[in-house]
Amino acid sequence: MDRLAKHLAGLTDGQRLIANRLLAEPAAAFASAECLAREVQVSVPTTVRFAQALGYAGYGAMRQALITEAREKRGKQARFLQTPSDALQTLEEVLRRDIANMELTFQHVDSHALEEAVSALSKARHRVILGRGISSHMAGVLAYLLTQVGLTSVADQSVDFATQISPLSSKDLLIAFSFHPYSRETLDAVTYARERHVPVLGFTDQLDAPLGKLANWVFPLSGENLLYSHSLAGFMLMANSLAVLAASKDAAKNMHRLKDAERVSQALYFSEE
């Protein structure tokens, strides 16, 4: 599935029919090449060329990879919500995993890339943040933190991604989140941004993920979770760090701005006096 996501844009029309079928139902690959070809109405050689386009020697090798992946996925599902019976022990296990996620995220950070990313955040005219699923929540939190430190950022889910990117230029910054299963809309939007020479800051689950090959700066976020989702612990480490680093570039200015904002918004909050 990772290979499929990486090579999707370069497939022929016939190969895309196979790709769409596998994305909808990965178990379709357990059938023979003849059965799959008949189901999506392409030739048998097309199914072979499809497998080769993903980097496999042939259809059989791809089929075996899908079987192996399915077994691994069943193993993960078997561990889903396997927690200690005691509530406090469960809390401890969640804490242990999230500490590990933050440590792994920290270990994968390249200091030079981090400095460049902070500089890009600070200098950008506009900052647009994209993501679907759990990524949309990450986008909203990062937009909030950056705006709090004076770097106004937009994470708008009501407008399609291409429309948000179309006004951007090389003076702006696109920030994208992409985790498995990778959103095609997000990857297409990032590709479109790069064509327009818009710099891209990416957050994903592994360096060789599709977004890793598109972004100017990419940071992998570890996210092992007892739930069937991506933990937010590694993300929060990076989001808070980026906001602090950006704010520290001109601490005096940011303090003055925050005092002004507090003065204006004071009437909005309840006072016991």
Convert the pLDDT of each residue in 209-232 to its tens digit: 899 889 999 999 988 777 767 889
- Which one-letter amino acid corresponds to residue 18? I
Residue 179 has pLDDT above 70, yes or no: yes
User: 130 and 94, same structural domain?
Assistant: yes
Residue showing tokens 């976020």: 221
Q: Same domain, yes or no, for 71 and 94?
A: no
DSSP state of 25: -
Domain at 8, CATH number: 1.10.10.10
Maximum mean pLDDT: which of 46-55, 88-97, 256-265:
46-55
Q: How far apart are CA 63 and CA 58, in angstroms?
A: 9
**Exposed/middle/buried for 96, CB within 10 Å: 0-12, 13-18, 19+?**
exposed
Has residue 129 been placed in a domain? yes
pLDDT of 114 above 60:
yes
177 and 53 in one domain?
no
111 and 29: one domain?
A: no
Q: Name the domain count of the chain.
A: 2
Which of 79, 105, 128 finishes a domain?
79
Cα–Cα distance measured from residue 185 to residue 170, given in angstroms and rounded to the nearest whole number: 21
Residues 53 and 117 reside in one and the same domain = no
In this structure, the answer to whether residues 55 and 34 fall within a common structural domain is: yes
Range of the domain at 123: 90-262
pLDDT band at 111 (very low <50, low <70, confident <90, very high): very high
Looking at 60, 79, 98, the residue that finishes a domain is 79
- Beta carbons of 7 and 50 less than 8 angstroms apart: no
Same domain flag for 96 and 195: yes
In this structure, are 71 and 156 located in the same domain?
no
pLDDT above 70: percentage of residues in the chain: 82
Instruction: Identify whether residues 129 and 230 lie together within a single domain.
Output: yes
Would you say residue 66 lies in a domain? yes
Look at 272 and 9; give whichever has higher pLDDT.
9
Instruction: Specify whether 169 is located in the same domain as 233.
Output: yes
Average pLDDT over every residue of 140-163:
91
Query: Is 21 within a domain?
Result: yes
Residue 202: pLDDT band with limits 50, 70, 90: very high
In the three-class reduction of DSSP (H, G, I as helix; E, B as strand; rest coil), residue 220 is classed as strand
* Per-residue model confidence (pLDDT) at position 211: 92
Confidence of residue 175 (pLDDT cuts 50, 70, 90): very high
Are residues 113 and 152 both part of a single domain?
yes
The answer to whether residue 272 is domain-embedded is no
Q: Which two tokens stand for residue 241?
A: 């760090």
In this predicted structure, what is the pLDDT of residue 19? 84
| Per-chain mean pLDDT for the chain | 84
- Report the percentage of the chain scoring pLDDT > 90: 42
* Domain match, 70 and 105 both: no
Q: pLDDT by residue (tens digit) across 255-269? A: 666 666 666 566 666
Residue 104 confidence (pLDDT) above 60: yes
Residue 190 CB coordination number (10 Å): 24
Residues 23 and 3: their CA atoms lie apart, in Å, by 12
What is the torsional sign of CA 86, 88, 93, 94?
Answer: positive
Choosing from 16, 51, 79, the residue where a domain stops is 79
